[in-house]
Structure 1
Amino acid sequence: MYTDKDDHDYPDCSVKLLNEKRSEYDVDMKSNGGKQTKNPQRQICTCVWIKKWKWKVLFGIIAACSIGSVALSFYKMANLSLDEKEISSMKKDILDMKQHRKKFENDIRLLYAGHYDQNDNLDTLETVLQNITVIFNERINNLTTELNTLNTEYERQVRLQKDMQKQIDAMGTENRKKFEEFNQKMIVMKQNLNDMTASQEVLKNDLRDAQSSMRRETQNAVDRIRNDFRAAQHKLESDYRETRNSQNELKASQQSLRSMLLGKLSDLKRHVQSKPNAGPITRSSVGLICVLLLSFCLFL
């Protein structure tokens, strides 16, 4: 990094070429063994071109180097792995870049040592490059921190997954045991159900037999009761007819007795009336007998 400016006064190449006597010779380094050749017009055009385009060329070279450095930095950052070896390799590349940059700055200083504004531009570019380097290092540190956090989280997730797998295996074993017990219980229940079904069939058959026998006994009892009832009914009807006949005979005898008593009573009245000399006792006796006979007839 250029912190001190060069104290030497280097005259401008163009001024020097304009003020001093122009040499009529041009040194050709590529041909004739470096012998001087006369080409004054070419020398003047070269100096004018250098004077006109030197800052643009310098800025272009610096910008190209900066863009190349930034592109290389971003390329390295994009392809950065989270491994320590790759980080150290990138640091080594950064150091190599700094060395190349210093070498390039030395070359620029050797080429343009007489221009004071060059140091300011180089300092600015150096500051920019340092800022980029600091930002790059901060991003690397942030990526390293995030990598450590992700590794910790990954380890925690792996442990959690192992614990969950153990719990799942334990639950699967317990569920298999419960399922086997449930199957055994189902087998026992099926056997019990089959036994209950068989006993139910036996009970149903017994019940059917009992119902059939009870139905037969009930039918027989009903038939006997019906026959007894019919016999009793016939007997009651015959008794009723006999009673009715007896009542008719009794009524007939009562009618005949009444008619006979009434005849006797009328005879007795006529007999008493035919005897006017009868005493009161006889008449009262006859009257009492008449009353009794009359009440007896009314009762009948």
Structure 2
Amino acid sequence: MSTETEGSGAEVVVGVDGTPASRSALRWALDRADRRGGAVLAVTVADTPPPPVGAGGAAALPPQDLTAAAAAELEGMVTEEAAGRSAPVRTRVLTGDPVTGLAEQARSARLLVLGNRGGERLGGVVGSVGRSCGRQVDCPTARVPADGGRGAEPVLVVGMEGTEHSRAALRWAVGEAGPAERVEAVAVQYEPFPHGGGQADPDFEEDAHRAVAGALEGVPAPATVDVVALRGAPSEVLLARAVDRQALVLGNAQRPALGDAVVGSVMGPCLRHAVGPVVLVPG
């Protein structure tokens, strides 16, 4: 079940649970809607009432009171973060299983945004809710740490490694980029002992340009796409490149692929150590 304010259909769905990371997720979702257009649906899950306590214990709040409290908290946060923004926002309070509820709300969304704080509540995407949502939804999932994306340059950094998953990530980033944003496609030539993300060999760089051109063949590309070929450890290079950028965008492979720069094996370290948003795009 849900309660919501009236409004237009949402394109960006964001899970909010009151944590600093989920507030950052809400802020970033609103920013994406402002940059790219569209609306935002902010979703929270009301606490489940505990079982009745024995005689003399404190009585639990009835479900309707818990829902009303969750709605008031969500509305307050949305009012603060949406001030001065143009994107339409609606709110919804769910009860029951957070994963099922979020997956249902994101069924027709262009993007699901969650906080990344390593916990188990709605905002803790490194925990069980985030992992389960990533498996159940078909749309890209953004994971935003506390203070992630604040004051970032208008650049979407995409990890390229030659698989369909990374090609899908690049195509999504090109379609998602707003009028004032650009896309940076980063291919990493693996080197066991990286030296500060130096330039890759000319042949590798040429291959990277061909791969990007092939991925975007027949795709309208209104955004500027820069190709960057570097050498080093893929996760370290991508994390460094994504600092102070709008997001790091990765293909979401179900299992690692073989190759020199494997985004499947890079995804975990990037989620754990990124200081900004990370978007996982299914292939």
Report the TM-score when normalising by structure 1.
0.17
Structure with bigger strand share is 2
* TM-score (ref. length: structure 2): 0.18
- Larger proportion of helix: 1
